[in-house]
Amino acid sequence: MRSIGATGLSVFPISLGTNVFGWTADKETSFAILDAYVEGGGNFIDTADVYPYWATGESTSEMIIGEWMEDRRNRDSLVLATKVGMLEGLEGLAPATIRTAVEDSLRRLRTDYIDLYWAHVDDHDTPIVESLAAFDALVREGKIRYAGASNYGAARLAEALKISDDEGLTRYVALQQAYNLVERGYEGELRDVVAEEGLASTPYFGLARGFLTGKYAPGVTVDSPRAGKAAEYLATERGLRTLEALTKVAGERGVEPASVALAWLLAQPTVAAPIASARNVGQLQALMTAAELALSTEELTLLDEASRP
């Protein structure tokens, strides 16, 4: 288990992403994935009120998770994270928006508290202090335990943390951002802020929209809603170089490339638990394997050098 910053949240090294629930994974399949994840030792579930609204017109992921937790009676053994700020009609981080959104999420999730409540996207139209005060009120009321920042730049994250300190308001404890072997923009000023301020990172797109699973190769057609974006990496020398190194390490270890890609993330400074999703139980195994896969210095160096911009 790993800690989220200085919080009391102890989480499995791989967070289960659930944006596919109700979209490319129906309710029965979603239940099976959740069961297998927990049976394998997992406890950190990541969702959002906007998952997968784009496909279903509803916050289907939260609804499925809520029904599953109620049926399994396991809420208190989980670390549950959801988000506010991107759902149609509830965009942004105005206090009234946060208040409405959290009550809606609690109802759909069939729980009375959220362990980690993410500001899904930075809101430049609402003063940061107002958003933080809204999160602070929810912490004091026991509706959320901690707040996190998703998709924030370095300067805005640093500003938010300073305001929290100056005003005595709840502090963001973690950052969620895109980060993987072929998208390494996190390394630099943003990671420096996270490290210096004692936050944790729970990166998304850890498998680069499926590209780092190894199923994409020149001339191969993949049936996936994300195939177009993932295939773009194949058009670059760096993408091919990264895939070659990833495949080499995976082959030598006897594991899936996805396991190696996530294990590389787990070895990076500030990273507590990458977020990864599975459309079926079969895909889940590679994610669970990553949690126990410790790459050698030589393997990490090979992957690092192959994937550098």
For residue 144, what are the domain limits? Answer: 2-176
CA distances for 247 relative to 28, 75, 266, 305, angstroms: 32, 38, 18, 14
How far apart are the C-alpha atoms of 250 and 239, rounded to whole Å?
Answer: 16
**% of the chain surpassing 70 pLDDT:** 96
232 — pLDDT class (breaks 50, 70, 90): confident
How far apart are the C-alpha atoms of 12 and 40, rounded to whole Å?
Answer: 10
How far apart are the C-alpha atoms of 62 and 43, rounded to whole Å?
Answer: 16
Domain contains 277:
no
CA distances for 136 relative to 70, 131, 145, 191, angstroms: 27, 9, 10, 25
The DSSP annotation for 39-93 comes to HTT--EEE--TTTTHHHHSS-HHHHHHHHHHHHHT-GGGSEEEEEEBEETTEES-
- pLDDT tens, position by position, 242-285: 999 999 999 999 999 999 999 999 999 999 999 999 999 999 99
Could you confirm whether 117 is annotated as catalytic? no
Asked if pLDDT for residue 227 goes beyond 70, the answer is no
Candidates 213, 288, 289; CA nearest to 258 is 213
pLDDT at 235: 84
221 — pLDDT class (breaks 50, 70, 90): low
Domain contains 261:
no
Domain contains 259:
no
The CATH number of residue 48's host domain is 3.20.20.100
Q: Are 135 and 98 in contact (CB under 8 A)?
A: yes
Active-site residue among 51, 117, 152, 204? Answer: 51
Averaged pLDDT, 108-133: 98
- pLDDT tens, position by position, 41-73: 999 999 999 999 999 999 999 999 999 999 999
Q: Are 169 and 136 in contact (CB under 8 A)?
A: yes
How far apart are the C-alpha atoms of 121 and 150, rounded to whole Å?
Answer: 6
CA distances for 143 relative to 38, 110, 117, 146, angstroms: 24, 12, 10, 9
How far apart are the C-alpha atoms of 50 and 86, rounded to whole Å?
Answer: 6
Domain contains 281:
no
Q: Are 241 and 256 in contact (CB under 8 A)?
A: no
Average pLDDT, the chain: 96
pLDDT at 35: 98
Averaged pLDDT, 110-138: 98
Provide the domain count of the chain: 1
Beta carbons within 10 angstroms of residue 191's beta carbon: 22
Domain contains 104:
yes
pLDDT at 21: 98
229 — pLDDT class (breaks 50, 70, 90): confident
Domain contains 245:
no
